[in-house]
């Protein structure tokens, strides 16, 4: 679920439910008649792309500009003659690195725990029929409907009772629980996407069930695990609400909390530094996201079955 940050929504949501297929465009009637129309729509698409990406361009552009250009009567649209001083200022800030350490610790714990637990559960519900299976899947679905924003206060109380407030372990605990339902749901789709016939064929050829699973199914699940991992990474890296509630001590801030602090300290004084901070948090994640998004649509399974 993305009970976590409302804005950062899960990678490959409904797509995980669909059988994986090569995503090649194969639409558009008779090719000859529609070429002109296609080109016109292409221009529209590119214009929309420019508008949509503008805020991100603006973040990077402003991060390179010195204060006198940011506060000039007319904005500077290209960071020509830009400066690295905004980045250097963030780089030299020990609180940035402290927040980085906290964020990375949370992310690592969340990823390892969520992937292992979700994988086991997904395996159970998609490869076996057993009593309570439907109830479990239903629970997973319903849990995703629960507004986390309604739960955070009692989660805080619970962690407070266990002395886990302002602890990486406490934040990681509520994060793992929050992303587990969706991760299970997603991995279940991927496990189902690998036809059991492949595994059975391996068993006919003399592999044990475990052997067939690890030699045949597991490699085919790699894209699914990567996708689920990216989802968990993004959620834990980007989440703000629970971090705000759980990490009240300024020395225990995660990166989003640190960024909000930077905004509040520099609003109306120096947006350049704030933009540099935002860019430093965003760029690694975006790069990662782009890289993996591509891998997730590789159509591995379809190829395996046909071949």
Partner 1 sequence: MAVTTLEVPGDGTTATLRRRRPKLGVYTLLVPASLLMAVALGYPLVRQFVISFQEYGLRQQFGQPAEWVGLANYTDLLSDPYVWTVIGRSIAFCLINAAVTMVIGIAFAVLMARVGAAARMTLQVSLLLAWGTPVLASMTVWQWLFDSQYGAINWVLSNVLGFEGMAHHSWIIQPLSFYFVATVIVVWMSVPFVAFSVYAGLLQVPEETMEAAQLDGASARQRFWNITMPMVRPVLSVVLLLQVIWDLKVFTQIYVLQRAGAPTRDTNLLGTLIYSYAKEFSKAGALATIMLVITLALTGFYIRQMLKEDEL
Q: Which of residues 15-54 bind partner 1 (CB under 8 A)?
A: 15, 17-19, 21, 23-29, 37-39, 41-46, 48-50, 52-53
The smaller minimum CB distance to partner 1, of residues 18 and 84, is found at 18
Query: Six-digit token pair at 97?
Result: 């690195």
Residues of this chain, 247-286, that bind partner 1 according to CB under 8 A: 255-256, 259-260, 263-264, 267-268, 271, 274-275, 277-279, 281-282, 285-286
Which of 96, 89, 61, 64 is closest to 77 using CA atoms?
A: 61
Using the rule CB under 8 A, is 204 a contact of partner 1?
Answer: yes
Using the rule CB under 8 A, is 106 a contact of partner 1?
Answer: no
DSSP structural state of residue 9: P
**Measured distance CA(22)–CA(16) in Å, rounded:** 14
Residues of this chain, 139-158, that bind partner 1 according to CB under 8 A: 141, 143-158
Residue in 101, 209, 215, 295 binding partner 1, rule: CB under 8 A: 209
Do the beta carbons of residue 127 and residue 197 sit within 8 Å?
no
Do the beta carbons of residue 90 and residue 280 sit within 8 Å?
yes
**Measured distance CA(61)–CA(86) in Å, rounded:** 11
Residues of this chain, 81-100, that bind partner 1 according to CB under 8 A: none
Do the beta carbons of residue 78 and residue 60 sit within 8 Å?
no
The smaller minimum CB distance to partner 1, of residues 85 and 241, is found at 241
Using the rule CB under 8 A, is 301 a contact of partner 1?
Answer: no
Instruction: From 86-94, 104-112, 177-185, 221-229, give the range in contact with partner 1 by CB under 8 A.
Output: 177-185
Angle, vertex CA 214, rays to CA 211 and CA 220, nearest 5: 140
């Amino acid at each position: 679920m993305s009970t976590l940050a409302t804005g950062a929504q899960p990678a490959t949501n409904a797509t995980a439910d669909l059988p994986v297929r090569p995503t090649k465009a194969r639409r558009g009637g008779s090719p000859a008649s529609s070429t002109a129309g296609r080109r016109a729509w292409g221009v529209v698409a590119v214009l929309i792309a420019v508008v949509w990406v503008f805020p991100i361009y603006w973040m990077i552009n402003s991060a390179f500009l010195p204060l006198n250009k940011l506060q000039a009567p007319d904005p500077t649209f290209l960071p020509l003659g830009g400066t690295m001083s905004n980045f250097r200022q963030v780089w030299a800030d020990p609180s940035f690195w402290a927040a980085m350490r906290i964020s990375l610790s949370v992310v690592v714990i969340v990823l390892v725990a969520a992937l292992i637990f979700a994988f086991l559960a997904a395996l159970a519900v998609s490869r076996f029929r057993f009593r309570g299976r439907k109830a479990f899947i239903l629970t997973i679905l319903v849990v995703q409907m629960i507004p986390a924003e309604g739960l955070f206060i009692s989660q805080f109380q619970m962690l407070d009772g266990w002395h886990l407030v302002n602890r990486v372990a406490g934040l990681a605990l509520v994060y793992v629980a929050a992303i587990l339902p969706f991760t299970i749901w997603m991995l279940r789709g991927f496990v189902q996407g690998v036809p059991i016939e492949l595994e059975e064929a391996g068993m006919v050829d003399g592999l044990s069930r475990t052997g067939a699973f690890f030699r045949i199914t597991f490699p085919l699940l790699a894209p699914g695990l990567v996708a689920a991992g990216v989802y968990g990474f993004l959620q834990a890296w980007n989440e703000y609400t629970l971090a705000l509630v759980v990490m009240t001590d300024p020395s225990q801030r995660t990166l989003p909390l640190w960024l909000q602090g930077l905004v509040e300290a520099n609003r109306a004084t120096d947006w350049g530094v704030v933009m540099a901070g935002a860019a430093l948090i965003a760029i690694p994640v975006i790069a990662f996201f782009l890289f993996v998004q591509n891998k997730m649509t590789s159509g591995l399974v379809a190829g395996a079955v046909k071949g």
